[in-house]
Structure 1
Amino acid sequence: MKKLTFYILSILIIGFAGCTTKTTINQDEAGSVITDYLKANPEYKTTRFNFGEIKFSSKSDKLDLAKYKILESKGMVSLKLKEASKKFLSKDSSFVYQITLTEKASPLVLKQDEDKATVKVVEYVLSDEKPVDFSQVNSSTSKVTVSLKKVNTDFAPFDKDASENSNFITKTYKLKLSKDEGWKVQK
């Protein structure tokens, strides 16, 4: 009888120990939680992009026209020359182009109006070089600081406030332990 009671008590203790959730987190687990979060909620930088009928001057808008032509060569936009005119006794000419976004640009376009669109110019992804830095605040919360490297999109030349001071950003996320789902990023 004592053996049977001992076995039943042992099974109950092992069963309760197996049901408890894991309250500690290590560097690899924190990295995988952040990676999963970034897949569902990517970090990016946006700008406004003009398209439609745009007039370019051959002198003053030469660089802007070159940006659009680069996008055309990558298949993101199509350019159709509608009108070209040369000013009398001048070296300056003006060109009117019809610029249309293509299907290839759709993953980078977040919002589109009649002649402007909000596009991604930089996407941030988890850096492989710098490890995840985390500190466990208590048994159910942790703070994780990660380095996100900057990946320029095809629309990056149109970023008006492109500061190239660094090619990464550091971001801190708060992780919370959920009994049902495990460690998750708290918004």
Structure 2
Amino acid sequence: MKKLINYILSLIIIGFAACTPKTTINQEEAGSVITEYLVANPEYKTTRFDFGEIKFSSKNDKLDLAKYKILESKGMVSLALKEASKKFLSKDSSFVYQITLTEKASPLVLKQDEDKATVKVVEYVLSDEKPVDFSQVNSSTAKVTVSLKKVNTDFAPFDKDGSENSNFITKTYKLKLSKDEGWKVQK
């Protein structure tokens, strides 16, 4: 009888030990938690993009028109020339284009108004080169610093603050241990 009670007690203790969540985290597990979080909540940079009926001057807006034509060659927008006029005794001409977003641009368009759209110009993805740097604060929280590399989208030339000081950013996330879900990024 005593052996039976000891056997049952040992099974109960082993069962409780198996059900308790793991309170330590290593570099690989922290990286996979951050990767899972970035899939659900991607990091990106946006800008406002003009479309619709736009007038271009052949002198002053040559670079802007070239940006739109590159987008057209990639299938992101369609350009339709509505009007072309040459100023009298001038080398400058003006063009009016109807610019329309195509279906191919939809994954990069976040918000769309009548003649402006908020588009992704840069997406940040977890860098493979720099390892995940983490420190476990206590048994249920950890701080993880990762390097996110910059991936330009087709709309990157329209970024008004397109300074290319670096091709990555570092970001720190706080991980919290949940009894039900394990390690998760705390928002």
TM range (shorter): over 0.9
Which string of whole-angstrom CA distances, capped at 9 and with x for unpartnered residues, describes residues 42-99 of structure 1?
0000000000000001111000000000000000000000000111111111100000
Which has the higher mean CA deviation after the structures are superposed, 51-60 or 7-16?
7-16
Where structure 2 has 5 or more consecutive residues not aligned to the other structure, the ranges are none
Give the drift of 1:8. Answer: 1.6
What is the DSSP-based 3-state SS (H/G/I as helix, E as strand, rest coil) of the residue aligned with 1:55? strand
What is the DSSP-based 3-state SS (H/G/I as helix, E as strand, rest coil) of the residue aligned with 1:90? coil
- Partner Cα distance (2:52, 2:29) in 1: 47
Taking only aligned residues, the RMSD between alpha carbons, in angstroms, comes to 0.7
What is the DSSP-based 3-state SS (H/G/I as helix, E as strand, rest coil) of the residue aligned with 1:72? helix
Which residue of structure 2 lines up, in the alignment, with residue 153 of structure 1?
A: 153
- Partner Cα distance (2:136, 2:88) in 1: 72
Which residue of structure 2 lines up, in the alignment, with residue 179 of structure 1?
A: 179
Give the drift of 1:6. Answer: 2.4
Which residue of structure 2 lines up, in the alignment, with residue 140 of structure 1?
A: 140
What is the DSSP-based 3-state SS (H/G/I as helix, E as strand, rest coil) of the residue aligned with 1:4? helix
Give the drift of 1:163. Answer: 1.2
Which string of whole-angstrom CA distances, capped at 9 and with x for unpartnered residues, describes residues 151-184 of structure 1?
0000000001111000000000000000000000
- Partner Cα distance (1:185, 1:14) in 2: 29
What is the DSSP-based 3-state SS (H/G/I as helix, E as strand, rest coil) of the residue aligned with 1:157? helix
Give the drift of 1:12. Answer: 1.6
Give the drift of 1:13. Answer: 1.6
Give the drift of 1:16. Answer: 1.4
Structure 2 length normalisation: TM-score? 0.98
Where structure 1 has 5 or more consecutive residues not aligned to the other structure, the ranges are none
- Partner Cα distance (2:180, 2:16) in 1: 16
Which string of whole-angstrom CA distances, capped at 9 and with x for unpartnered residues, describes residues 97-143 of structure 1?
00000011011001111100000000000000000000000000000
Give the drift of 1:3. Answer: 2.3
Give the drift of 1:9. Answer: 2.1
- Partner Cα distance (2:53, 2:5) in 1: 85
Count of residues paired in the alignment: 187
Give the drift of 1:2. Answer: 3.1
Which has the higher mean CA deviation after the structures are superposed, 75-84 or 1-10?
1-10
Q: Percent identity among equivalent residues?
A: 93
Structure 1 length normalisation: TM-score? 0.98
> Which runs of at least 4 in structure 1 moved beyond 6 Å after TM superposition?
none
- Partner Cα distance (1:119, 1:180) in 2: 37
Give the drift of 1:4. Answer: 1.8
What is the DSSP-based 3-state SS (H/G/I as helix, E as strand, rest coil) of the residue aligned with 1:175? strand
Give the drift of 1:18. Answer: 0.8
